[in-house]
Structure 1
Amino acid sequence: MKGVIGYNGFAVSKKEGDGKSPMGIYSFGTAFGTVTKPSGMAWTYRKSTTNDYWIDAPSSKYYNKWYTSARKPAVSHEKMYQPLYKYGAVINYNTSSIVKGKGSAIFLHIWRGSNSATAGCVATEEKNVVRILKWLNPKSDPRIVMGTVDYVKKMK
């Protein structure tokens, strides 16, 4: 399926705000969306609300984490209740032993279009995102492989 990545391509060493998608092999975290969980989906799913944010400010103790509050965060953040996140999944990049400034909010989500890059996420058509969410099986430990063709060819 066709997809898009960060507007500055891929990065071996990602940094917050660089507009690049991180190269590597990553597991998936929680799937999410602004609508009800798709039927036939086995993966953990969280329905987002207007009070849900993903904090991308390295100075915050909530850096690279889902944050729920009735008040808009005072630091840089992603709104989790938005059209591109009707369906999505967290890509587990820098989510365990979080390194401040290494990059945050890396998701699989719906694209704006085939010629519209992301800020560092991976995006594809809505039907494909739903297809991937339904494909995710907790018993299979699925991964996403991200990188240039040369980078991926060198992986073992």
Structure 2
Amino acid sequence: MKAFDLVLMPGHVRFLNSRFPCSIGRGGLTDDKREGDGATPRGVHRIVDVLYRADRMAPPVTWARPIGPNDLWSDASDDAAYNQPVRAPYAPSHERLRRTDPMYDLILVTDWNYPKAMPGKGSAIFVHQWRRPGWPTAGCVAFSRADLLFIAQNLRPESRLIIR
């Protein structure tokens, strides 16, 4: 493990010698991730990008990229752009990254099934803000806004999310 890794333990993530409460997917942890199963995949996932809402916060790190009004993420496993960032208009199934709620104001993008996606193996394992403490995600890992911001501000380009 590297010093700047996030390590998922039952109910929390260890990062920089601190513990941060978190939420995981409603389907629990899995070794066999499938699109739509609501599970969080075990493994070592690199943090490959940081996205943020420039109209709601300052960039947490110098390498963060702003989320635009037409930014989407494809979750259509039968489409060539599956598990890729796409832009509206986009007809296949997708997630809007610029949401009205604050859940995606700050997103840490992992390399789960990305950038070379295998159809049906699950899309968009993000680290993002939770709806509320303990509320499960669709497969992502989620934190309070303050904890997520602290984590993002202290990431390094080599940081990883380790899920055992």
- Tell me which interval the TM-score lies in, with the shorter structure as reference length: 0.7 to 0.9
Structure number with higher strand proportion: 2
Structure number with higher helix proportion: 1
Residue 50 of structure 1 is matched in structure 2 by: 69
SS of 2:150 mapped into structure 1: helix
1:46: how far off?
A: 1.4
Give structure 1 stretches of 5+ with no counterpart.
147-151
1:21 and 2:35 aligned = no
Stretches of 4+ moved more than 2 A in 1? 35-39
**1:1-156 superposed matches below 5 A:** 1-35=20-54, 36-38=57-59, 41-42=61-62, 44-69=63-88, 71=89, 73-82=90-99, 83-138=102-157, 141-146=158-163, 152=164
CA distance in 2, matches of 1:5, 1:98: 22
Which residue type is aligned with residue 128 of structure 1?
Answer: D
CA distance in 1, matches of 2:137, 2:69: 22
* Greater Cα shift, 60-69 or 10-19: 60-69
CA distance in 2, matches of 1:109, 1:101: 22
TM-score in terms of structure 1 length: 0.85
CA distance in 1, matches of 2:140, 2:134: 14
1:48: how far off?
A: 0.8
Q: Could you tell me the percent identity over the aligned residues?
A: 33
Which residue type is aligned with residue 38 of structure 1?
Answer: P
CA distance in 2, matches of 1:134, 1:24: 23
Which residue type is aligned with residue 146 of structure 2?
Answer: K
Which residue type is aligned with residue 143 of structure 1?
Answer: R
- Indicate conservation of the 8 Å contact 1:109/1:129, yes or no: yes
Q: Tell me how large the CA RMSD over aligned residues is.
A: 1.3
Give structure 2 stretches of 5+ with no counterpart.
1-19
CA distance in 2, matches of 1:27, 1:136: 11
1:115: how far off?
A: 2.4
CA distance in 1, matches of 2:115, 2:81: 13
